[in-house]
Amino acid sequence: MAEQPQKQAFPENAYELPLSQKNDLQAALNKHRVVRLQPGDYSSAGTITLDSCQQLYGVAGSTKLSKVVVKGGTAGAVLSGVQSGLEFPASSLVTHDNLFQRITGVVTVNGATLENNVFLDLYGQFKFDNSGGGYMKNNRFVRMTSQGYNPAFVHKGDPARKTGGNVWVWTNMLSPPGDAMYLDNQTDATFVGIDAESWNYSRQGSKAMLTARSLGSLRVFQVNGGQNGNSLMTGIFDVNADEFQLHGTNMGKTGSPALAFRGQRTAMVNLQKLSTDDGAGFRFKAFEGGSADALVNGGSIRAALPSAQQDAMRRMYANSGRSGQLWERPTFNAIPDPAGPNWNANLAGQKDSTDYIQNLVNSQGVAKLPAGIYYISRPIKLKGGQGIIGAGADKTAIIAKSPDIDLIVSDARLTQKYSTTRFALADLTLQGGRNGIHHEPNGAGGGAQFNKIFLSHVTIRDMREAGIFIDRIMAWDNNFIDHVNFFRNGVGIKQQVDPNWSGGDNPGMAYLDKNVFYNCQFVQNGRGLDWPAKRQNNLNAFVNSLFQDNREYAAYMANNDSTLFVNTDFINNGGNPSVQNNKPISYVGCYFRADDRGVAMIGPDSGVEGSSFDRGSSTKATILAGSGKGYFYNSTANMPLGNLSSGLLINNSFSANGSLSQQAVLVQNGATYALVPGTPSPMPQLLFGKALL
C-alpha cells in the first residue's frame, strides 16, 4: 500500500461528501469507495466500518468522526486526516497492507490480526491486546505520540509470541499521568527514537518508562527525556527479554535503578552514567558516561572475547538467520512543475489573483483552490486554522509576481509565549517569491507556536531566500510534514532567532522541536536546512526523505539535539561534512553517495546503523569529517572512514579500512582491538520485517 508515495493528499477521484450530508457517510463510502470529507464534525454519522480498498480522507486537525472500525481481513484501505477512535476488532482474518495516517484518538486492537500495515502520525492512546487471540506482525509505526493518557501505550502480544517484527520510528510519550509503555509476549520489538517526558506525572502509575515482559529481542536506538520533579520517580527500562540492545541515551531525572535487566543477553553502548540492576547473563557495556572503555560482565576488555561471549555478540548483531528482510529503499515522485520552464515569463503582465485567493480563504477557512496557475502581488495571509488545498501540486500553482514578496504568511498577531496556532496547505505548488512560507512576528511580538499543522504534498520551488522561513517567532513544535518538496531555493527550511532574545523561555527564540518530515525532498537548494538554534532544537526527524544536489550543505545545524535520519538518502551534497552539527546525530538505514560535491558525509559522535556509504564519482570523499567518536553497526562503505579517535564498530564491511572490517572492533585513542574477529556480514537489525506491496 505505501511503498509508492501517493501523489496527492486527496485523490482526484475522491467523492466529496458535504458536511450537510454527514449522516450518509457510510452509504457514500460503500458506494463510492473513495470519499473526501470537509472540515467539520461528522460524528453524528455514528460508527463507520472500513473495508478492503475503501479510502476515507479528512482535513487533518479539522475533520471529526465518532469511531472507525476496520473490518477483519481488510486490505488496501486508507484512513487519513481524522479525529476519531480507531478500532480493530477480534478476527483471525489478516488485516494487511493498509495505510492509517494523521489519526487523533484512541487506537484499540482487541484480538485482531494485523500484518504489514503502515501507521503514520498517530496521536492519542494505544491499547493493543492480543492476549486472547490474533497477533500483530511486521507493522510500521512512524511518529506515534501520546499525551495525557494513562496508560499511554500497552501492547500485549499473544502467548505463543507470534507477535513480532513491528517497528516504531519516533515515539513520543509526553507527560502521561501514569505509566508510559508496557509490552509483553512478543518475538521482538524495535524502537528507533523514543522521547519520554515526565511519565507518572500525576503519580497514577508505578512502572518504569518502558516495562517489558516475556520478549525475545527488544532493540532501542536513541532514547531521550526524563521525569519532572513532581512525577512518581521510576526507572527508564525494566526489561525481561532474551535479548536487549540499547544504543544512545540522553535522559534527565529518573528513579533508581534507571535500568533493570533480567534477560540473557544485554548490550548497552553510548549511554550516560545510569544506575543499573544488571541481573544475570551476558552484559556488554561500552562508552558509558563519556568513557572510551568497554566491559563484559563488569570486566574491561581490549582483546578478543572468549568464544562463548563472541557467540553472544554474533547472535545479537550478526544474526544472518533472522527471518524477514530489510525495508525497501524510499521512492520519490518527480518534483511537480505545473508552470513549466517559462514560469517567470512576463510576470508583470499576468492577471493578479491575490484578492481572489484571499477572499476564498476568508470565506471558506480552509479554501479549495481549483486547478490552475495563479499569480499574486502580495502575500496570502492565513489566520489560525485557515489554509489552502489545491487540486494537486502538479495542477495548482501560486506564483509570486515579484521575487521580493513572500507567498504565505501568518495573519495571527500572537504576542504571548506559546500562543498556539496552525494552518493547512496541501496539494499545490508555491513558486518564485522571497519565501514560500514565512512565519515572522508581524510587528506584534514573537509568541506564535505552530503546532499540529497540516502540510502535505506541497512543492516549494525557486524561492530566493527560503522555502520555509521560521523567523523570530516562538516555535514550530510537534508537527508532521509529509511529501513536501523543497526545490531550487536559497534554503529549504531556514531558522532565525530574534537577535534581541536574551535567553529563557521567551518569544523570539524560534526553536524547532518534535517535527517529523516524512518522504520530503530537499533538492538543488543552497542549503537543505539552515538551523542555527540558540535555544536547543530537539528531537526532529527525517524519515524516507531525500537530500540531493544541495550546493553548500545537505543540513547545516548548530545546537540541534537528538536529530534522527531514518531510511533517508544523501546524494551529491556539498559541505564538510554534508550534515553539520555540534551535537550527536543518529542515522538508521541511510544511504550516502558523495559524487562530485561530497567531501565528508557526517560529523563525529554519530551513531550509525544499517547504512551505506558510496563514493560514487568522487575519489577523495570520506565518511567522517574531523576527529572524534563514532558508533557504527551493520553498515557498508567503499570510502575511508576517516579519523575515528574512539568508537565501536560492529559487523561493518569497510573496504577501505581492512582492520575495522571485523565482527566487533573497539577503537580507543586511535588503537584498534578486535573483540570479535572474523569476516563481517552486515545485516541491518532495526529497519527489518517485510517489504511493502
State yes or no: pLDDT of 359 exceeds 80: yes
Comparing 89-93, 276-280, 372-376, which segment has the lowest mean pLDDT? 276-280
In a domain, 340, yes or no: yes
pLDDT at residue 613, as a whole number: 98
State yes or no: pLDDT of 396 exceeds 70: yes
Comparing 16-20, 464-468, 501-505, 533-537, which segment has the lowest mean pLDDT? 501-505
Rounded to an integer, the average pLDDT of 108-122 is 98
In a domain, 271, yes or no: no
Q: How far is CA 11 from the centre of its chain?
A: 24
Average pLDDT, the chain: 95
In a domain, 490, yes or no: yes
Determine how many CB atoms are found less than 10 A away from the CB of residue 515. Answer: 23
Place of cell 495563479: 374
In a domain, 487, yes or no: yes
Q: Domain limits at 397?
A: 334-359+370-518
pLDDT at residue 624, as a whole number: 97
State yes or no: pLDDT of 3 exceeds 70: no
**pTM of the prediction?**
0.97
C-alpha distances in angstroms, 339 versus 63, 375, 562? 32, 11, 39
Residue pair 448/31 in contact (Cβ under 8 Å)? The answer is: no
In a domain, 473, yes or no: yes
Tens of pLDDT, residue by residue over 308-352, are 999 999 999 887 677 788 999 999 999 999 999 999 999 999 999
pLDDT at residue 318, as a whole number: 82
Would you call the peptide bond into 257 cis, given omega within 30 degrees of 0 as the criterion? yes
pLDDT over 90 for what percent of the chain? 89
Residue pair 142/123 in contact (Cβ under 8 Å)? The answer is: no
pLDDT at residue 5, as a whole number: 73
In a domain, 344, yes or no: yes
User: pLDDT confidence of 445, banded at 50, 70, 90?
Assistant: low
User: pLDDT confidence of 558, banded at 50, 70, 90?
Assistant: very high
DSSP 454-513: EEEEEEEE--SSEEEEEESSSEEEEEEEEEEEEES-SEEEEEE--TT--SSS-TT--EEE
DSSP 588-646: ES-EEE-TTT-SEEE-TTEEEES-EEE-TT-SS-EEE-SEEEEEEES-EESS---EEEE
Tens of pLDDT, residue by residue over 606-655, are 999 999 999 999 999 999 999 989 999 999 999 999 999 999 999 999 99
Rounded to an integer, the average pLDDT of 84-112 is 98
Residue pair 600/616 in contact (Cβ under 8 Å)? The answer is: no
Comparing 297-301, 487-491, 513-517, which segment has the lowest mean pLDDT? 297-301
Tens of pLDDT, residue by residue over 515-537, are 999 999 999 999 999 999 999 99
State yes or no: pLDDT of 692 exceeds 80: no
pLDDT over 70 for what percent of the chain? 98
Tens of pLDDT, residue by residue over 588-605, are 999 999 999 999 999 999
- Measured over the CA atoms of residue 227, residue 477, residue 154 and residue 542, the dihedral's sign is negative
pLDDT at residue 277, as a whole number: 83
Rounded to an integer, the average pLDDT of 59-83 is 97
**DSSP label of 209:** S
Question: How far is the C-alpha of 454 from the C-alpha of 422, rounded, in Å?
Answer: 8
C-alpha distances in angstroms, 594 versus 504, 524, 572, 670, 679? 40, 15, 5, 25, 26
Question: How far is the C-alpha of 636 from the C-alpha of 1, rounded, in Å?
Answer: 29
In a domain, 425, yes or no: yes
Longest Cα–Cα distance in the chain:
79
pLDDT at residue 1, as a whole number: 44
User: pLDDT confidence of 416, banded at 50, 70, 90?
Assistant: confident
Question: How far is the C-alpha of 360 from the C-alpha of 353, rounded, in Å?
Answer: 11
Q: Tell me how many domains the chain contains.
A: 1
In a domain, 664, yes or no: no
User: pLDDT confidence of 4, banded at 50, 70, 90?
Assistant: low
Residue pair 498/506 in contact (Cβ under 8 Å)? The answer is: no
Rounded to an integer, the average pLDDT of 150-175 is 97
State yes or no: pLDDT of 2 exceeds 60: no
Tens of pLDDT, residue by residue over 234-273, are 999 999 999 999 999 999 999 999 999 887 899 999 999 9
